[in-house]
Amino acid sequence: MNQRVIISTHLENELVSALSECEHDKLFVLTDTTTQEMCLPVLQKFYCMKEAKVITIPASDSHKDIESLMMVWKGLQEGSASRHSCMINLGGGMVTDLGGFAASTFKRGINFINIPTTLLAMVDASVGGKTGINFGGLKNEVGVFNDSKFVILDTEFLKTLDAENICSGYAEMLKHGLISTEAMWEELVSFDLATPDLKQLQRMVGDSVKVKERIVEQDPHEKGIRKALNLGHTFGHAFESWALKRKPILHGYAVAFGLIPELYLSVAKTGFPTEKMRQTVNFIKENYGTLNITCDDYDELIELMHHDKKNQNGIINFTMLGAIGDIRINQTATTEEIKEALDFFREG
């Protein structure tokens, strides 16, 4: 992996140092309407940012589309960006995904640096080289694998987040704990998410990112073990797409909900310990509530799962666990078993 991840202690110094290693004739910073207001002022105080041109796109995942992508390309073009320019993506996962894709394709690729401002982007979207946009009603349908030069993680930005967005990012940390060690999982399911200690959270974010980095280094293009990171996502993406047509939910909530049926299948099919499944499910229900699906939604959810990019030959692909850290990729389940897991999700 070419990407360097910096856990920030002094943002300005780290940014100066990162920019000195990214040769650039012009500097751009991409924000969305939210981070322009909440986070950009922090960067604009820095001397190294005085020449930076700002490109702003509309906020929220519903704008992670080709129109926003064209706005970024246009902003780069109108700002006379060359192949030697550099773009800083300042925002959540939507900004780092879309900005990374825009930078990777403009002039066949310019350097970019991710400064994630949400917990979800810190532990998931900004690390690992996945970029892309939603297309044709499907999540992340078009994109490329390409690492940012640097990811700078500064938990100071978390002070701008509401509780819902903290919970959203935390779901990916919970997933990282499940695919890592008992000690990490134990700390995660006993953490007070309602009144988070940001100092402790910063350390946990560092641990969480290391789990993702370790897996991505082994498998940059998701041919094998990187599928471990899809735990909770097969059901999760289906829940997310289902909710998009009704009342949209944050990605991390979809992943938290997706962990429930996937851990149920892990107990049934790969011997995951029931007690640990219960403990995780209780933590999720206490902190995330639930999603009001009914039996009538099962067919639509299964149809959405069939669209998942991880499938091969039309067979729905799951990541399951034999125990914490015992990852079983490329697992399958019958329609009957999937419906049973959805029953469990609803009735628990």
pLDDT, position 311: 66
More confident residue, 27 or 156: 27
Distance separating alpha carbons of residues 127 and 144, to the nearest angstrom: 14
pLDDT, position 198: 83
Q: What is the pLDDT of residues 78-96, one digit of tens each?
A: 999 999 999 999 999 899 9
Structure-token pair, residue 72: 């970024």
Distance separating alpha carbons of residues 216 and 231, to the nearest angstrom: 14
Distance separating alpha carbons of residues 91 and 157, to the nearest angstrom: 10
Reply yes or no on whether the pLDDT at 156 is more than 90.
no
Distance separating alpha carbons of residues 154 and 172, to the nearest angstrom: 17
Tell me the range of 4-8, 195-199, 292-296 where mean pLDDT is highest. 292-296
Residues of the chain with pLDDT > 90: what percent? 73
Reply yes or no on whether the pLDDT at 348 is more than 80.
no
Per-residue confidence band for 22, with pLDDT thresholds at 50, 70 and 90: confident
Q: What is the pLDDT of residues 221-268, one digit of tens each?
A: 777 888 898 899 999 999 999 998 899 899 999 999 999 999 999 999
Q: What is the mean pLDDT of residues 191-220?
A: 89
Those residues with Cβ within 8 angstroms of residue 6's Cβ, 6 or more apart along the chain or in another chain? 14, 18, 150, 151, 152, 153
Per-residue confidence band for 23, with pLDDT thresholds at 50, 70 and 90: confident
Per-residue confidence band for 124, with pLDDT thresholds at 50, 70 and 90: confident
Q: Rounded to two decimals, what is the model's pTM? A: 0.85
Distance separating alpha carbons of residues 85 and 93, to the nearest angstrom: 22
Report domain extents, the chain. Answer: 4-160, 163-203+217-347
Count of alpha carbons within 13 angstroms of residue 6, beta-carbon side = 20
pLDDT, position 176: 96
Give the CATH architecture of domain 4-160: 3-Layer(aba) Sandwich (3.40)
Reply yes or no on whether the pLDDT at 167 is more than 90.
yes
Give, in words, the CATH class of 163-203+217-347.
mainly alpha
pLDDT, position 3: 77
Mean residue pLDDT across the chain:
92
Reply yes or no on whether the pLDDT at 1 is more than 60.
no
Exposure string for 279-315, b = 16+ CB within 10 A, e = fewer: ebbebbeebbeebebeeebbeebeebbebbebeeeee
More confident residue, 24 or 199: 24
Which segments within the chain are labelled E, that is strand?
4-7, 27-32, 53-57, 86-91, 111-116, 133-135, 138-142, 150-153, 318-323, 326-331
Per-residue confidence band for 183, with pLDDT thresholds at 50, 70 and 90: very high
* Closest CA relative to residue 270, chosen from 326, 206, 216: 326
Q: What is the mean pLDDT of residues 293-311?
A: 87
Per-residue confidence band for 269, with pLDDT thresholds at 50, 70 and 90: very high
Per-residue confidence band for 37, with pLDDT thresholds at 50, 70 and 90: very high
Q: What is the mean pLDDT of residues 125-148?
A: 87
Tell me the range of 145-149, 197-201, 216-220 where mean pLDDT is highest. 145-149
Reply yes or no on whether the pLDDT at 309 is more than 70.
no
